[in-house]
Amino acid sequence: MARLAGRRALFAVPVLLVVTFGVFAIAAASPFDPVKAYAGTAGLTASQENLDQLRANLGVDKPLAARWWDWLTSALTGDLGDSSVLRQPVADVIGERVGWSVLLAATAFLVAILLGTTLGVLAARRPGGWLDRAVTSLAYTLEAAPPFWLGLLAVWLFALKLGVLPSGGLTDTASSTVTAGQVASHLVLPAGVLAVSQLPWFVLYVRQGVGDALGDDPVRGARARGLAERTVLLGHALRSGMLPVLTLIGSRVPELITGALLVETVFSWPGIAAATVQAATAVDFSLLAALTALATAAVLLGNLVADLLYGLADPRVGFDG
Amino acid sequence: MADTKDLVWRAKGGVRRSTRAWRVRTSAVLVAAVVLAVLVVPPLVNLDEQAVDLGMKLHPPSLSHPFGTDDVGRDLLLRCVYGLRVSLLVGVVAAVVATVIGTAVGALAAASGGWVDRIVMRLVDVFSSVPHLLLGIFIVAMFRPGVWPVVVSVALTHWLSTARIVRAEVLSLRSRPYVDAAISGGASRLRVAVRHLLPGVLPQAGLAAVLMVPHAIWHESALSFLGLGLPTHQASLGTLVQSARGSLLAGDWWPTLFPGVFIIVPTLAIAGLAGAWRERINPRRRSELML
């Protein structure tokens, strides 16, 4: 297990190197000019001499590979540059916000797994039955629905019409301190919408897995031994049916990040994904570069978790393969 | 318990097949309706979708305006049809570009083999590690504004899976006896590629392209919603949802609801048709998971 984790970590190094270099290469190929972005409106009136001076100060006159290397070496010491849109060091931005994003994503993921497993098992019990058809149709519709649209409709229903939940942010506008109760009530809508956007996938895979398992010999054997339907379903079919789902849980990190980008923006959640969108709107390169690298690292970590879970859940799988 | 068993057996036979046929037929009708609406309505219906009528602002759905009107009195049905037109156009172009890139890369990797194959596929793995929407946002942010950055950003983030599919297909075709026969019969490389490999790869690539269109629309609308996509005078469905935010917070739901429905319905219809197509060219991999 340690060997697998070590090998994955070694593979992560070249991946991150290539991705960050790609980010710098795209920026170099684009019409984006960091000097003009840095100078802002002052850049319009500044003399060419001043602009050149600024260019040298920012190190933009160096070739692409040198700029990338400078960024990389200072990133390793913890200096990721300054965010121009949030007026903070990038490392501070990440430090302040990453916790809120993890809270949101973890809550949503947990809800999606629990709800998805329940619905998937219910649907798999009678393939073609009304419950199955209802759940499957709902899953396909939700899969096609953009999360930002679901989020806006949820705001309309729960915050405006019913008035039971706050429409966004982390705390009430009047409050100056962050309390657990406030955060919990502000978490319900964004986490719910993010969970719903991840739900279809779980439902469909659990349904497929459990449905297949219900036709397999162990389940038939369990039925023949006269075990209760409940035991057969939850003890035998669900256990073997969940195996393929379990292995794919870790690989859902990209979708989770995609969902978070949209949901955090809709609900003004002070997380890292909302900061990414702000950075993109303001073409804040240093923040974007760091966050892209961070997201890639999260995806790689998810892949590792997927492999480890697979090995833990299925004793037939060795860790040295 | 006996009736449960009966139900299961029946469901696996006739009922499910008829549901499937019904689904395919409905999907075909919907796709046809979408294409017709997008192609025919703008030239035939001589209405200005940008026509502002401040006396008519934010009217709820009615007989004269089935989807209601937006905050400056524009008819939302017309706005949605034009938005769908823009979204579909961007989606189709991006899907075609992505498929061409993916097919070329996949075929190149499979045909070269050896270190070229290994390096190319490793690069595909690397770029799969960056979340698509994030990479898309990054590309758009750097090249904004305009339509082309959006198309390029969606295309550049979607070719990876096609490259994998095409590579696997070429590798599997290349090991078939008829290809060996053609080579030992003296066929040139070009002839083998064009006559024996291409016809086998095209259906898979075509299916991947069709399935990619809804994905591309989804991505484009997400970018537009974030304010990074198409400019407002070329409103796509995502732009419509974005510009309806103010009205929604004032309590008017229809400018938000209908553009979303216009994203969901074509997505489901295209997925339904593509699912049937996949079963036809790939009967062994009969799966209910089509998205």
Write down the pLDDT at residue B70.
78
pTM: 0.85
The string of DSSP codes covering B31-88 is HHHHHHHHHHHHHHS---TT---GGGTTPPS-SSSTT-B-TTS-BHHHHHHHHHHHHH
Q: Which of B131, B138, B259 sits opposite A258 (nearest CB)?
A: B131
Distance, in angstroms, between B267 CA and closest chain A CA? Answer: 6
Q: Is residue B234 very low, low, confident or very high in pLDDT (cuts 50, 70, 90)?
A: confident
Give every CB contact of residue B191 below 8 A, 6+ residues apart in sequence: B182
A240 close to B (CB below 8 A): no
Query: What CA–CA distances, in Å, run from B216 to A144, A229, B92, B262?
Result: 12, 44, 8, 14
- Residue B268 or A85, more confident: B268
Q: Is residue B46 very low, low, confident or very high in pLDDT (cuts 50, 70, 90)?
A: low
Are A265 and B140 a contacting pair at CB < 8 A? no
Q: Is residue B94 pLDDT above 90, yes or no?
A: yes
Chain B, nearest residue to A34 by Cα: B142
A215 close to B (CB below 8 A): no
Write down the pLDDT at residue A40.
65
CA angle A272-A73-A43, nearest 5°? 70
Q: Which CATH architecture has domain A96-282?
A: Orthogonal Bundle (1.10)
If DSSP states are collapsed to H, E and C, what string results for chain A? CHHHHHHHHHHHHHHHHHHHHHHHHHHHHCCCCHHHHHHCCHHHHCCHHHHHHHHHHHCCCCCHHHHHHHHHHHHHCCCCCEECCCCEEHHHHHHHHHHHHHHHHHHHHHHHHHHHHHHHHHHHHCCCCHHHHHHHHHHHHHHHCCHHHHHHHHHHHHHHHCCCCCCCCCCCCCCCCCCHHHHHHHHHHHHHHHHHHHHHHHHHHHHHHHHHHHCCHHHHHHHHCCCCHHHHHHHHHHHHHHHHHHHHHHHHHHHHHHHHHHHHHHCCCCCHHHHHHHHHHCCCHHHHHHHHHHHHHHHHHHHHHHHHHHHHHCCCCCCCC
Are the C-beta atoms of residues B214 and B272 closer than 8 Å to each other? no
Are the C-beta atoms of residues B266 and B217 closer than 8 Å to each other? yes
Distance, in angstroms, between A282 CA and closest chain B CA? Answer: 8
Q: How far apart are CA A312 and CA B27, in angstroms?
A: 42
Give every CB contact of residue B77 below 8 A, 6+ residues apart in sequence: B65, B66, B67, B258
Write down the pLDDT at residue A88.
84
Q: Is residue B18 very low, low, confident or very high in pLDDT (cuts 50, 70, 90)?
A: low
Task: Determine which of A83-87, B195-199, B213-217 has the lowest per-residue pLDDT on average.
Answer: A83-87
Q: How do the domains of chain B map onto residue ranges?
A: 2-290
Residues of A in contact with B238 (CB under 8 A): 146
Q: How do the domains of chain A map onto residue ranges?
A: 96-282
If DSSP states are collapsed to H, E and C, what string results for B213-250? HHHHHHHHHHHHHCCCCCCHHHCCHHHHHHHCHHHHHC
- Residue B44 or A71, more confident: A71
Tens of pLDDT, residue by residue over A140-198, are 999 899 999 999 999 999 888 888 888 777 777 666 777 788 888 888 999 999 999 99
Rounded to the nearest integer, the mean pLDDT of chain A is 84
Q: How far apart are CA A30 and CA A18, in angstroms?
A: 18
Are A152 and B241 a contacting pair at CB < 8 A? yes
Q: Is residue B287 pLDDT above 70, yes or no?
A: no
- Residue B109 or B17, more confident: B109
Query: What CA–CA distances, in Å, run from A301 to A98, A268, A292, A306, B129?
Result: 15, 27, 14, 9, 10
Are A257 and B133 a contacting pair at CB < 8 A? yes
Write down the pLDDT at residue B17.
62
Q: Which of B213, B218, B208 is nearest to B99 (CA)?
A: B208
A30 close to B (CB below 8 A): yes
Sign, CA torsion A158/A164/A165/A167: positive
Tens of pLDDT, residue by residue over A16-54, are 888 989 888 888 888 777 777 666 666 667 777 777 777
Rounded to the nearest integer, the mean pLDDT of chain B is 82
Write down the pLDDT at residue B40.
78
Q: Is residue B10 very low, low, confident or very high in pLDDT (cuts 50, 70, 90)?
A: very low
Distance, in angstroms, between B174 CA and closest chain A CA? Answer: 27
Tens of pLDDT, residue by residue over A238-261, are 888 887 777 778 788 888 899 999
Q: Is residue B4 pLDDT above 50, yes or no?
A: no
Q: How far apart are CA B99 and CA B160, in angstroms?
A: 9
Write down the pLDDT at residue A284.
84
- Residue B150 or B61, more confident: B150
Q: How far apart are CA A14 and CA B82, in angstroms?
A: 45
- Residue for token digits 């016809």? B199
Summarize the confidence of residues A210-223 as an average pLDDT.
86
Q: Is residue B3 pLDDT above 60, yes or no?
A: no
Q: How far apart are CA B153 and CA B266, in angstroms?
A: 22
Distance, in angstroms, between A209 CA and closest chain B CA? Answer: 11
Q: Which residues pair with A89 in a beta bridge?
A: A82
ipTM for the predicted complex: 0.86
Q: How far apart are CA A264 and CA A268, in angstroms?
A: 6
Q: Which of B229, A143, B238, A71 is nearest to A135 (CA)?
A: A143
**A and B: number of Cβ contacts within 8 A:** 162
Write down the pLDDT at residue B290.
42
Q: How far apart are CA B107 and CA B95, in angstroms?
A: 18
| Region B2-290: CATH code | 1.10.3720.10
